[in-house]
Amino acid sequence: MTQDAALVPIPTVQRKAAIVHAAARDYTGSVSVKPIDPFDLNRTIFNTLEGAIPRMVMQSRIAKEPTWRQNVARDIDGQYQTLAEQEPLPEVDPLLLRFLKEECDFDVEHADGSFLDHLYFCYEYSIHHYPTQSALVMLLHSILGTGTNTFAMEAHKIPTLKSLMPEFDWGHVSAFPSMLRLLYDMKLRRELRDNMHRLGDLDGIRLHRVIDNKSLEMSAEDFWIQLNYQLIHLVDFLPVSNWTIHANETAFIVFRDLYDLLQRAGRLEAKLNYTPASGPRRLQDEKLTLVGWLASWIPVPIGEKMAASSIHRFSSRIGHSMDYELLWRTGA
């Protein structure tokens, strides 16, 4: 790539592994994990999270430092380098990169990197494993808001950003934060499952943009593409190991359900291999804080309801409507 090298982050080993394997995997046995102490939640996108208990639970889930076995990390690094040489990333419009650098505020996204690190992972993954659609969407997917009311740019800059992007890409970037919230809310996923028998008659969806509550409408085809983008995005929030212990983490719950839903609907288009965790509930090579251990016992249905309530509160605070409507062909 010829663009500013300072804008191109080096992926973590877990991100490299996801890219080279085109997979979400449980790396238990290949990595050890320990809490990061001290850790400042206010430097992450979860700085807006309220309540002592929710903040402690979230910190226990993201404030972790993985240490990979040297031979495993070496193999993944080698495979990643080979892939990078065989399939180099395309050049991004310099004007768009300048906008990202000068007009946007990329605060910390994860414990192990920045907002930009996360965006580039999604971008790289899409280039290699979802080549039928524009990867640029994933480079910009959260620029109009995250699920926790953090915004990389102000709404008044929308016309400038829109002018730098193809119409298809802009439509998906506009809808991405809204669709993410709808997935965490559960209602949309349940409605899709209830209508599995007639998803071929789906005509589109109407929803509201997070940053300014503007009404948006997507065609059915764009809707399925958007859900594939969302699935790729969720890969970056999965626990690195001990999946039987961390099965109730919200992003993991949504990932599993969306993956299954797309498979059943015959609309899983991105290349993404996933094998559910199996075996006994046993912690290996990982140290948990007391809060983290207690949080791991929260039943999945309760955790999912808590997440849905939280996302509604975030939307309510900024006047964003969570209302949506699935549109069906006449007579369907």
The reply to whether 105 falls in a domain is yes
Q: Which of 148, 163, 146 is nearest to 96 (CA)?
A: 163
For the chain, count helices (H), then strands (E): 13, 9
* Residue for token pair 């599993």: 256
The reply to whether 290 falls in a domain is yes
Instruction: Report the pLDDT value the prediction gives residue 7, as an integer from 0 to 100.
Output: 58
CA-CA distance, 179 to 181, in Å (whole number)?
A: 5
The reply to whether 278 falls in a domain is no
Q: Is 99:3 a contact under the CB 8 Å cutoff?
A: no
Give the confidence band of 2 by pLDDT, cuts at 50, 70, 90: very low
Give the confidence band of 112 by pLDDT, cuts at 50, 70, 90: low
Task: Answer with the residue of higher pLDDT: 37 or 136.
Answer: 136
The reply to whether 183 falls in a domain is yes
Q: Tell me the average pLDDT of the chain.
A: 91
Considering all CA atoms of the chain, what is the largest pairwise distance in Å, rounded to the nearest integer? 60
Angstrom distances, CA of residue 222 to CA of 94, 166, 168, 228, 263: 27, 14, 9, 10, 17
The reply to whether 29 falls in a domain is no
Count of structural domains within the chain: 1
Q: Which of 107, 117, 103 is nearest to 44 (CA)?
A: 107
The reply to whether 70 falls in a domain is yes
pLDDT in tens, 227-276: 999 999 999 999 999 999 999 999 999 999 999 999 999 999 999 999 99
The reply to whether 276 falls in a domain is no
Q: Which of 268, 276, 231 is nearest to 25 (CA)?
A: 276
Helix then strand then coil, in percent of the chain rounded to 5, is 50, 10, 35
Reported pTM? 0.93
Give the confidence band of 331 by pLDDT, cuts at 50, 70, 90: low
Instruction: Report the pLDDT value the prediction gives residue 113, as an integer from 0 to 100.
Output: 62
What's the whole-number mean pLDDT along residues 37-56?
A: 77
> H or E element: which one contains 148?
none
Instruction: Report the pLDDT value the prediction gives residue 111, as an integer from 0 to 100.
Output: 47
Range of the domain at 146: 11-24+35-271+283-328
What's the whole-number mean pLDDT along residues 284-302?
A: 90
Instruction: Report the pLDDT value the prediction gives residue 326, as an integer from 0 to 100.
Output: 98
Encoded amino acid at 254, one letter: V
CA-CA distance, 198 to 191, in Å (whole number)?
A: 11
Q: Is 150:48 a contact under the CB 8 Å cutoff?
A: yes
CA-CA distance, 299 to 217, in Å (whole number)?
A: 35
The reply to whether 289 falls in a domain is yes
